[in-house]
Amino acid sequence: MAAPVEVCHVACCANRAGGGVVSWGSGGLLAFGSCRDVVLYEPTLVKSIPLKGHTDAICAVDAVYQSDEPDLNLLIASAASDSTVRIWSRHGSEAKCIEILQFGNGFVMDVCLSFLPGSNVPILACGGDDCKISLFIQQNDQVRVGEVGGNTLGFFDCQFSPDGSMIVAHAFHGALHLWKQATVNKKEWTPEVVISGHFNSVEDVKWDPEGEFIISVGSDQTTRLFAPWKRKQETEVTWHEIARPQVHGYDMRCLAMIGRFQFVSGADEKVLRVFRAPKNFIENFSNIAGIPMEKLCSHLMKSLLRIGDMAVQPAEDEETFNTISNQYPEIYFQPLILTGPVFSCCAYTDKNTAVHSRIIWSCDWTPDSKYFITGSRDKKVIIWGQCDLSVTTEGNTLGSIKPCSTVLDAGDSVTAVSISRALTPDGRYIVAVGLENGKIILYTWKQSGQEPAPADWTTCVEMDDSQSHALAVKRLCWRHHVGRAGHNDQNSSEWLQLASCGADHCVKIFSVNRLAL
């Protein structure tokens, strides 16, 4: 039987720190610091030789050996706040500066030395505050890679791959940029797909109604959309960030899907905004995810019909809404209000009936709406409901709603709970619990009688440190349509998928083996 839980996607980015937060090892593994996740290394110190010449603080240095005998020839590059990069050569105990590269009023933040593929010709990469990477080789041939506009805060760091055929750069907001050298024209470097994610705490994550993509919001003031990329002639499907529907001026806190390509987001400014995808995004999504436009448009029309039942804000508030809607193109943003029945309280707890003793941070319904689960800072998880379903109540359920489960002690403050729509083969609910320490634990629960019993709860999987988050879990969300191959029948599929987000800046997707729980 397959392992109960597999990590199938992690979205994250590098810390906003200086040179050294990203490293490309000689074995080909790229490592970078992300929130509290770090890479440890052991620097070797040898006898020091002072290299004098810079007139201001040195911010970056790199070196390569030019022969198999390390004491014979060492090439060193250093960058400093004096707007220069100096090239040094060391032979034995003798060292001298062989060239000075001037950058005017610019500032080089990192340097990296390597060799042209298949040769012993040194090549130097300089990452600057002008959003450009400058490449120098010993014969003075130079190449620039980077973006035109958009990345105005420049790069913190850059690294060559071990074979010198790729360059990775680390931008101010944590984003990684990757370029690959063309096979035919060695002077041509093309951008490549690279991992991406939020650069601050991820506060909420939701699956779209059809389970084809997820949207997340974070305190980095962005909303991001992740979807699977089905490439031609490739059997493996990989997940990538394909859009940022909202780049905001306030920290984002929550979102809700209101249709296939519509969502509502909330931020610290205490305003809700409604977004709808334009046609060109749906076309691009169709190409990336391999879903026919006919299928997407049919779901889109159903969503628009549902939105048509909502009433537009009355004219007297038009001026207020205009100040908000002018910030976004009309095709993306549409102010709406919901109309419908007025809600009334049907059940509640008070000082005499409360079970939780601290703030309740998360809650969710079972798929059949029979039970309601709560998770609290007091480390407790409780399932509520009308435990004796044979008792009929005429409109008033206040007296019949009570805890239907024993109190589950999760071991730490519970910050997120979510119940899957699919059941285990023996008919048990699958409950995901996220903790303040970053742990994610999977339980199953089934009511065994009219009174709660300890045997109701079963601990199935406690994810290890490599799978869990490094900081508090902010949200858990099960995929509605499940299966790694896109199966739609939840209770006949072997695999479920669970999305999570945390204060460690990460969005993760887990494949969960339902039959192994």
User: 416: buried, middle or exposed (CB in 10 Å: 19+, 13-18, 0-12)?
Assistant: buried
- pLDDT confidence tier of residue 36, bands split at 50, 70 and 90: low
Residue 17 pLDDT > 70: no
- What is residue 15's predicted lDDT score, i.e. its pLDDT? 75
Out of 36-50, 121-135, 423-437, pick the least confident: 36-50
Position 96 scores a pLDDT of: 85
Domain ranges of the chain: 1-44+355-389+398-516, 56-138, 157-194, 202-298
Compare 346 and 328 and report the one with higher pLDDT: 346
CB 157, CB 110: distance < 8 Å: yes
Beta bridge partners of 90: 74, 95
Provide the pLDDT for residue 176. Answer: 86
394 pLDDT higher than 90: no
Give 23 or 161, the one with higher predicted confidence.
Answer: 161
Helix segments in 261-377, DSSP class H: 279-289, 293-308, 318-325
Inform me whether the pLDDT recorded for 361 exceeds 90.
yes
Q: Return the pLDDT at 380.
A: 96
Residue-level pLDDT at 411: 94
Inform me whether the pLDDT recorded for 499 exceeds 70. yes
What's the mean pLDDT in 424-431? 93
Bridge partners of residue 371, in order along the sequence = 385
pLDDT tier for residue 474 given thresholds of 50, 70 and 90: very high
State residue 6's pLDDT score: 86
The pairs formed by 171-180 with CB atoms below 8 angstroms and a separation of 24 or more are 172/16, 173/13, 173/16, 173/199, 173/220, 174/13, 174/14, 174/15, 174/16, 174/34, 174/199, 174/505, 175/13, 175/14, 175/199, 176/13, 176/14, 176/22, 176/32, 177/146, 177/147, 177/151, 179/145
CA–CA separation, 155 and 174 (whole Å) = 9
Residues 445/456, Cβ–Cβ less than 8 Å: yes
What are the tokens at 255?
């979102």
Tokens of 501: 């987000």
Q: Which residue has the higher pLDDT, 433 or 350?
A: 433
Asked whether the beta carbons of 501 and 507 are under 8 A apart, the reply is yes
Q: How many CA atoms lie within 13 A of 475 on its CB side?
A: 23
Please compute the mean of the pLDDT values over residues 165-189 and round it to a whole number: 85
Question: How many C-beta atoms lie closer than 10 Å to residue 214's C-beta?
Answer: 24
Greater confidence (127 vs 234) lies with: 127
CA–CA gap between residue 416 and residue 396 (Å, rounded) = 30
Helix (H, G, I), strand (E, B) or coil at 317: helix
- Res 328 pLDDT > 50: no
Looking at residue 152, its pLDDT comes to 60
DSSP string, 121-179: -EEEEEEETTSEEEEEETT--EEEEE-SSS-TT-EEEEEE-TTSSEEEEEETTS-EEEE
Residues 430, 444 contacting (CB under 8 angstroms): yes
Considering only residues 39 and 352, tell me which one the structure prediction assigns the higher pLDDT. 352
Among 227, 175, 170, 165, smallest CA distance to 200 is for 175
| Mean local confidence (pLDDT), 158-187 | 84
284-308 pLDDT tens trace: 899 888 888 888 876 665 555 444 4
As a whole number of angstroms, the distance between CA 88 and CA 96 comes to 6
Q: Look at residue 492 in the predicted model and tell me its pLDDT.
A: 60
pLDDT of 44 reads 37
Whose tokens are 């519509």? That residue is 262
Residue 222 has pLDDT above 90, yes or no: yes
- Which pLDDT does position 322 carry in this prediction? 38
Residue type, 118: G
pLDDT digits (tens, 9 = 90+) for 189-198: 888 888 889 9
Report the residue count for the chain.
517
* 3 state SS of 431: strand
pLDDT at 30 over 70: no
Binned at pLDDT 50, 70 and 90, residue 496 comes out as very high
Domain 56-138 class in CATH: mainly beta
- Higher pLDDT: 304 or 448? It is 448
Q: Is CATH 2.70.50.60 what the domain over 1-44+355-389+398-516 is classified as, yes or no?
A: no
Cβ neighbors of 207 (< 8 A, separation 6 or more) are 213, 214, 257, 477, 478, 479, 480, 499
Separation between Cα atoms, residue 408 and residue 14, nearest integer Å = 36
For the cut 90, the answer to whether the pLDDT of residue 503 exceeds it is: yes
Tokens of 227: 């979807």
For residues 437 and 57, give the distance between their C-alpha atoms in angstroms, rounded to a whole number.
39
3-state secondary structure (DSSP) of residue 295: helix
> Residue 384's pLDDT is what?
92
Instruction: Determine the Cα–Cα distance for residues 432 and 500; give it in Å rounded to an integer.
Output: 10
Q: How many CA atoms lie within 13 A of 97 on its CB side?
A: 13
Nearest 5°: phi and psi at 445?
-145, 140
Q: Is 445:418 a contact under the CB 8 Å cutoff? A: no
Go through 467-501 and write b for each residue having 16 or more CB atoms within 10 A of its CB, e for each that does not: bbbbbbbbbbbbbbbbbeeeeeebeebbbbbbbbb
135-149, 232-246, 390-404, range with the lowest pLDDT: 390-404
Q: How confident is the model at residue 148 (pLDDT cuts 50, 70, 90)?
A: low
pTM for the model: 0.70
For the CA atoms of the chain, what is the radius of gyration? 28
- Mean pLDDT, rounded, for 81-109: 85
What pLDDT score does 306 carry? 46
Q: What is the mean pLDDT of residues 120-124?
A: 88
Positive or negative CA dihedral for 130, 133, 137, 139?
Answer: negative
- The confidence band for 218, taking pLDDT boundaries of 50, 70 and 90, is very high
DSSP 323: H
Quick: pLDDT tens for 96-115.
888 899 988 888 888 899 88
Q: What is the mean pLDDT of the chain?
A: 80
Q: What is the pLDDT of residue 440?
A: 96
φ/ψ (deg, to 5) at 316: -65, -20
How distant, in Å, are the alpha carbons of 71, 234, 405, 457 from that of 124? Answer: 21, 35, 64, 60
